[in-house]
Structure 1
């Protein structure tokens, strides 16, 4: 019985002992699990900080301090051993000197961390000089400048935000280390805590500097932004005023053109006047823009004065053409539609003026006596520099309303021909065919008498005779259309030939040999006179 009681008591005591052991072991297991969890959190924090730019820059700062300390020690050692004269210490001094140079080069690579744990980023971006807004194109530059300022302020504020977040992470990391020590009932992680505390101290100092600087920087940027915006507003106002002035000038030029079209009936004069109005308009606009957007006009005049000689030499032909254009526009010597002849270096061009631009005259070549006798080509467009009016011969067939020019037909007859009859026939033929142009010329010349001194104004056809080598040249002169001399010349030439061939006492001469024979031999015409001439 006693054995049973004793066994029962023994079992009861074992049960209570096991329960007590379990109760004692449970908190230890929980602590270990909690510690492992905290270490996992620390690992996660360390992993996130590996890619943190500020920790990277801070490590560079620590590297700089380490290199600086090493350089200082090397300098002390070099100073110590450089005075010793033994060969051993001279070699050591040489090695120390090389190490000092290496350290100095390494420090120069990370020099921005000399005074800041985060390097140059502790300072905001330097504010560039604000743009000088003197023309509308600077407005775009001003808006870009403002955007850059706002971006700089935003980036610097983000620096403060990121540093605040980093301090919180480091503070949490410190708490985790302390909690682990508390659970483990130890004083471990001494080195880690010291490093983190130093980081907290350094980053707190940096955050204070960044926060203070950020406020001052933002106020400075706001001030500059306001100044730039005021300059932009002033420039926009000035641009609008200039635009309105230019629009007013354009409207005025349109009104002038309408009035000119109303009171100038001739198309050529109307075209020239429009060109002149356009030139004056452009000239006014250019001067307005120049004196509006050049701050110092006297400076421009001075620069142009010094540069005028070189410009005159380099752009001589351009300036001469511009002056030529101005002379043409003002004196009206050549107008659009005029028939002109340009002679230069033995080349002759006869045609109608298509256009007169600032630098050249466009002339469309026509079929004329010149193309027949010289070029054998026609229909081309020649571009004649305006400067040619000062240096070369330019003939105008239709100057100041004239529409006719003298043209002549030469026919040679033999010395034994009836030259008086030949002159009479030529006079009659020319007078009859050129009557319309003669009357038109008479009216034009009478009109020109009021403007010019004209000594000879008789437009009637003229016939002259001259003794030449192979016979008598009968030259017939008459007024014809300036724009088409060949048709009338053709008609009169053929009628004269027909008339001379029909006359028994007139013989057309050409280089021949005269053989004296029987006087009764009939004279044979040189060719069939039955062929009628025409245009």
Structure 2
């Protein structure tokens, strides 16, 4: 029954028996070789002896230390230190491995105890049978006596191993419990640390949210967006600082590394760092806000649009219908991305800076020299004043407010018209206040009104490019024409009304 058992301790002991049997057989053959003189038997015995020695080499380690593999405890290496939340998973995984090691050791100890108990029962039975057959059947008694001695020897060997196993397990289990307690304590500390960090981060965001709500009562719509972006950026910065100081052990080392890295990156990624610096200048300097209408000139390309967003690296503008799109680009509706570093290197104009919502816009038209230019000036001024009166008042009020921030003098904001001499006539230049976001619409309205007013006047003529033909007596190809033909052509041209353009 014992030979059919899968008990690992029994298998280890069988290796000892195998080694002893092989040793005895080798000794018997060597003794026999010394006595025999038959060459054939000598050769056969040598072959058998060589085979037995090779077999003994395989089981020799088990004879020297028969229970080494079962008594050896796993080496506890690579014990993790839970210094951040990510390592919590590895901590639990290592605890699971420790429980597995402990379970295997307990199982081995239980198998050994079970085997010893079974052998003791077997020993008692063999001892009883030996005593029973000792008087009546000496041969049977001899076999049982051999089994009794062999079983006793096996029990002694296993009990010795049991003592060693029990001692090593006690020490090993104590080490496991110490490691588990340390890991559980570190995991618990990390959970509390995460809780405190979460509370701190929540407090930062709640403070930022409260600040946003409070500032909405005192800021205009466009500035609210900019302030919200600054608060969000500050919140993220504070959160990063909290996380760095919470989980970074050597802050001085980090500062040194960041310093050297920043120096190298500042050279290699100059435009990127300049864009970040430009973001600080834009946001904290207040030169551009979300919703402002700006004009950007770069390498001959001109763009006018409304600012949709100001991120750390770039501004996003929407190209609306403006005079620039009408006269130059001939297209609109594009989303244009402008790097923040352009504020240092490129001309950037803001049509709505400091709360101004109006701009000076102008319309030029040319009349002939024989036109009543004074009446034209008066008509243009009246029409411009009619449609821009509201914008003029808005601009005047805003300029009064700007006197507290800038050196603003008493500027003339009324609609004005000027007359200038040009080669083809008298140019009338009308200037008026217009909405920064709808200047092209007002220009169209005023232009149409001026045209209708001029068409009603008999003494004002719009000048435009014309061509005058003078007869020279040649057809332009070197062929002369008759006087009658030239005279006829000249009379026809003279009959037409000449106008200046």
TM-score, length basis structure 1: 0.71
- After superposition, give the CA deviation of every residue in 1:244-266 in whole Å (9 maximum; x if it has no partner): 333333332233223212333x1
Residue pair 2:282, 2:288 contacting (<8 A) in 1 also? yes
Residue pair 1:272, 1:335 contacting (<8 A) in 2 also? yes
Indicate whether 1:46 and 2:9 are aligned. no
Residue pair 2:361, 2:433 contacting (<8 A) in 1 also? yes
Question: C-alpha distance in 2, partners of 1:65/1:360?
Answer: 86
Q: Number of residue pairs matched? A: 444
Question: C-alpha distance in 2, partners of 1:500/1:287?
Answer: 70
2:211 aligned residue (248, 256, 262): 256
Question: C-alpha distance in 2, partners of 1:172/1:399?
Answer: 102
Q: CA deviation at 1:191?
A: 9.1
Q: Which residue of 1 aligns with 2:164?
A: 209
Residue pair 1:117, 1:206 contacting (<8 A) in 2 also? no
Q: Which residue of 2 aligns with 1:450?
A: 404
Q: CA deviation at 1:483?
A: 0.7
Q: Which residue of 1 aligns with 2:189?
A: 234
Give the aligned CA root-mean-square deviation in angstroms.
3.8
Q: CA deviation at 1:488?
A: 0.8
Residue correspondence of structure 1 range 220-231 to structure 2 within 5 A: 220-231=175-186
Q: CA deviation at 1:313?
A: 4.2
1:372 aligned residue (326, 332, 341): 326
Residue correspondence of structure 1 range 127-276 to structure 2 within 5 A: 127-170=76-119, 182=133, 185=140, 187-188=142-143, 200-264=155-219, 266-276=220-230
Question: C-alpha distance in 2, partners of 1:277/1:223?
Answer: 47
- After superposition, give the CA deviation of every residue in 1:31-51 in whole Å (9 maximum; x if it has no partner): xxxxxxxxxxx4xx32333xx
Q: CA deviation at 1:441?
A: 1.3
Residue correspondence of structure 1 range 379-458 to structure 2 within 5 A: 379-455=333-409, 457-458=411-412
Structure 1 gaps, min length 5: 1-41, 69-98, 527-535
Residue correspondence of structure 1 range 492-507 to structure 2 within 5 A: 492-507=446-461
Pair 1:361–1:435, CA change in 2 (3 A): same
Q: Which residue of 2 aligns with 1:308?
A: 262
Structure 2 gaps, min length 5: 24-49, 471-490
Question: C-alpha distance in 2, partners of 1:456/1:514?
Answer: 50
Question: C-alpha distance in 2, partners of 1:152/1:228?
Answer: 16
Residue pair 1:112, 1:119 contacting (<8 A) in 2 also? no
Residue pair 1:117, 1:202 contacting (<8 A) in 2 also? no
Q: CA deviation at 1:402?
A: 0.4
SS in 1 for 2:142: coil
Q: CA deviation at 1:193?
A: 8.0
Q: CA deviation at 1:160?
A: 1.2
Residue pair 2:126, 2:145 contacting (<8 A) in 1 also? no
Question: C-alpha distance in 1, partners of 2:267/2:147?
Answer: 81
Q: CA deviation at 1:284?
A: 1.7
Q: CA deviation at 1:121?
A: 3.9
Q: CA deviation at 1:133?
A: 2.7
Question: C-alpha distance in 2, partners of 1:272/1:342?
Answer: 20
- After superposition, give the CA deviation of every residue in 1:343-382 in whole Å (9 maximum; x if it has no partner): 3333333222222233332322212122223333333333
Q: CA deviation at 1:400?
A: 0.8
TM-score, length basis structure 2: 0.76
Deviating more after overlay: 336-345 vs 295-304: 336-345
Question: C-alpha distance in 1, partners of 2:14/2:317?
Answer: 81
